[in-house]
Amino acid sequence: MLHHTALGTTGSRVVFLHGLFGQGKNWTGVAKQLSGEHRVELIDLPHHGRSDWPDRFDFVESAELVAASIPDDEPVTLVGHSLGGKVAMVLSLLHPERVERLCVADISPVAYPAGREFPGYFAAMRGMDLGEVRQRSDADRLLEPAVADTTVRSFLLQNLRRDPSAPHGWSWQVNLEVLERDLPVIGQWPEAQLADAAPYDGPVLWLAGSRSSYVLPDYDAAMDRLFPRNRKVTFKDTGHWLHSERPELFLEVLRRFLGD
């Protein structure tokens, strides 16, 4: 079961999917700005936030869970960042009738090289001694040697919550064990599972951060093959978390896309 947060009561539906280590609430700032004109829904993906923890991560299974919340007769604008962008693309290919338009933020329909920054994040979070945490500032101090970037550290620590039932009164709200184990799956693109899917022919806004390596010219062919009506927009001097680094620009570009 997926946890949902809804904002707005009128207009078309816009559904947001977060990235790895994220939660639906990461989109709250953008969602509030849109909620006067649209019915906005923020979803916690499996293994994240307040959604269930299955025994594995699978793109198709995750996409099907999200699709189950979208009526056949009321297609939505689907917005996904990073991991959520991959889930959104898979859903669009499997259930195009449920997606009126698609916005993919800083991710491509490709398999990425192993490594990158995420194994280090898992190791740092799993290695933290929660027995030393009395308040959030303690957690920040403990994580700092492994995650020097203040913004990234703050993002990761959003997953730490007070939990009276936990041994030390704190627990992680993200399924570190399964997601770390299945990180090779998360880095891939489920080509074989989508072998029979036709290209998605709806409008696609493909956003990229200029300082990110998740959207490269080498990936254009894969995107064009599966999403032929895509329009790529690159945010200058912006990294992977472009919606948090450049929220005003992100909102402006998304609003134009919604109004097309």
Task: Examine the domain organization and report whether 27 and 73 are in the same domain.
Answer: yes
Q: Which of 151, 181, 211 is the last residue of a domain?
A: 181
Residue pair 258/39 in contact (Cβ under 8 Å)? The answer is no
Q: Catalytic residue, from 82, 92, 212, 244: name it.
A: 82
Predicted confidence (pLDDT) per residue in 49-59, tens digit: 999 999 999 99
Rounded-to-integer distance, Cα 122 and Cα 36, Å: 38
Q: pLDDT by residue for the chain (260 residues), tens digit each? A: 899 999 999 999 999 999 999 999 999 999 999 999 999 999 999 999 999 999 999 999 999 999 999 988 899 999 999 999 999 999 999 999 999 999 999 999 999 987 578 899 999 999 999 999 999 999 999 999 999 989 889 999 999 999 999 989 999 999 999 999 999 999 999 999 999 999 999 999 999 999 999 999 999 999 999 999 999 999 999 999 999 999 999 999 999 999 96
Let me know if 92 is a catalytic residue: no
Q: Catalytic residue, from 18, 48, 240, 243: name it.
A: 240
Q: Which of 162, 181, 200 is the last residue of a domain?
A: 181
CATH number at residue 86: 3.40.50.1820
Task: Examine the domain organization and report whether 213 and 155 are in the same domain.
Answer: no
Task: Examine the domain organization and report whether 61 and 44 are in the same domain.
Answer: yes
Kindly report whether the global pTM for this prediction surpasses the value 0.85.
yes
Where does residue 256 rank: exposed (0-12), middle (13-18), buried (19+ CB within 10 A)? exposed
Task: Examine the domain organization and report whether 170 and 249 are in the same domain.
Answer: no
Task: Examine the domain organization and report whether 145 and 211 are in the same domain.
Answer: no
Task: Examine the domain organization and report whether 215 and 249 are in the same domain.
Answer: yes
Q: Give the model's pLDDT for residue 115.
A: 59
Instruction: Provide the domain limits for residue 143.
Output: 118-181
The three-class DSSP label of residue 81 is strand
Task: Examine the domain organization and report whether 107 and 225 are in the same domain.
Answer: yes
Task: Examine the domain organization and report whether 146 and 235 are in the same domain.
Answer: no
Task: Examine the domain organization and report whether 107 and 213 are in the same domain.
Answer: yes
Predicted confidence (pLDDT) per residue in 202-213, tens digit: 999 999 999 999
Let me know if 82 is a catalytic residue: yes
Q: Between the CA of residue 243 and those of 3, 18, 73, 92, 115, what are the distances in Å? A: 21, 11, 29, 21, 24
Q: Catalytic residue, from 97, 117, 177, 252: name it.
A: 177
Predicted confidence (pLDDT) per residue in 92-120, tens digit: 999 999 999 999 999 999 999 875 788 99
Q: Give the model's pLDDT for residue 151.
A: 85
Let me know if 240 is a catalytic residue: yes
Task: Examine the domain organization and report whether 96 and 125 are in the same domain.
Answer: no
Q: Which of 153, 181, 209 is the last residue of a domain?
A: 181
**Domain tally, the chain:** 2
Task: Examine the domain organization and report whether 146 and 23 are in the same domain.
Answer: no
Q: What is the DSSP string of 89-132?
A: HHHHHH-GGGEEEEEEES--SSPPPS-SSHHHHHHHHHH--GGG
Task: Examine the domain organization and report whether 10 and 94 are in the same domain.
Answer: yes
Rounded-to-integer distance, Cα 25 and Cα 206, Å: 22
Q: Which residue, among 25, 73, 72, has the nearest Cα to 45 in the 3D structure?
A: 25
